[in-house]
Structure 1
Amino acid sequence: MGNKIPVSVLVVIHTPDLRVLLLERADHPGFWQSVTGSVDRADEPLEETCRREVLEETGIDAGRHVLRDWQLQNRYEIYPTWRHRYPEGVTHNTEHVFGLLVPEPLPVRLAPREHLAFAWLPWEQAAERCFSLSNVEAIRALPARIRGSNAAGAAAAGRADG
């Protein structure tokens, strides 16, 4: 049995006009997803996990962009074929969802053992292409999240001016 920690992040990388970066998995060609990855140690902050995974999987430095914790968690059953990576008896993972806002579609440097291809797609097409239901739901929620963060930013600016 493995020692992988059953806590992970899902990072939806997107532009202001809602183009979303998807990656095609090397171990399952045809399966597209956002950046995902597990914490390396029990005390690793989730934001650090996001930055590490984004850099490893895409070459994008998340520290140079706006990373937001969506305060959304998904708990799901780990596919039996992958349970050997976890301690004995572990059957579920908790995924924490984040968004990473980048100014435009950025160049991507894939980790060849993890991904075969990438695509920057309009959010509707990205949601249709994903294989993971939690990833689909996160991408479908993106327009409302962006409107919400823009409204919150405008409200905060109004308070600061007032």
Structure 2
Amino acid sequence: MSAPFKIPQSVLVVIHTPALDVLLIERADAPGFWQSVTGSKDAEDEAFEATAVREVWEETGLDAHAPGHLLTDWGLENVYEIYPQWRHRYEPGVTRNTERLFGLSIPKPVPVTLSPREHRAQIWLPWAEAAERCFSPSNAEAVLQLPRRHGR
């Protein structure tokens, strides 16, 4: 039995510290493609925040609601063209995805538990370096927003 098609509604969660060090994870299916936590809704009626909490847990093992952690819905959405190499995961004819942006502040950089099926490496970088490393323009733009969002 094949997996169900992905829903073209997803989250992007920029995990960072108060010093604006940012966690990036490298895709297992696309070496050299570094990104923040991303993932699609499991159901049309799943709230974006619930998707964010689930994806952070699945991809890093971090609990978004742990003491000292602050998950923030940035109230922003990107609509973008789905990369051709990943369109087969969606219903035929689906070419665009809506991505809701979140930030997750954690006290300090920590090693995370990656899902080897999805990611192969992790790195913590200062925000400007992290933005340069992101393969996705929308991910890079989200990281570049961190200083402004934190009054710097």
Task: Give the structure-1-normalised TM-score.
Answer: 0.88
Q: Which has the higher helix share?
A: 1
Give the AA of the match of 1:26.
A
**1:24 is the counterpart of 2:29:** no
* Cα distance in 1 for residues equivalent to 2:118 and 2:5: 19
CA distance in 1, matches of 2:54, 2:24: 17
CA distance in 1, matches of 2:48, 2:57: 14
Q: Does 1:108 align with 2:112?
A: yes
Partner of 2:43: 41
1:76 to 76, 80, 96: 80
Q: Distance in 2 between matches of 1:131 and 1:86?
A: 21
Residue-pair matches, total:
148
Counterpart in the other structure of 1:125 = 129
Which structure 2 segments of 5+ residues have no match? Answer: none
Residues 22-42 of structure 1, C-alpha deviation per residue, up to 9 Å, x if partnerless? Answer: 001110111100000000000
Q: Distance in 2 between matches of 1:103 and 1:18?
A: 10
1:65-90 Cα distance to aligned partner (Å, 9 max, x none)? 21001111110111222112111221
CA deviation map 1:66-117 (0-9, x unaligned): 1001111110111222112111221100001100000111220010011111
SS of the residue 1:81 aligns to? helix
- Structure 1: which 4+ aligned runs deviate by more than 2 Å? none
Matched position secondary structure for 1:36: strand
Pick the aligned partner of 1:3 from 2, 5, 27: 5
CA RMSD of aligned residues (A): 1.3
SS in 2 for 1:53: helix
Alpha-carbon distance in 1 for matches of 2:132, 2:85: 25
Distance in 2 between the 1:130 and 1:87 partners? Answer: 27
Q: Which deviates more, 77-86 or 53-62? A: 77-86
The residue that corresponds to 1:137 in the other structure is 141
Structure 2-normalised TM-score? 0.93
The amino acid across from 1:83 in the alignment is: R
Q: Tell me the SS of whatever aligns to 2:113.
A: coil
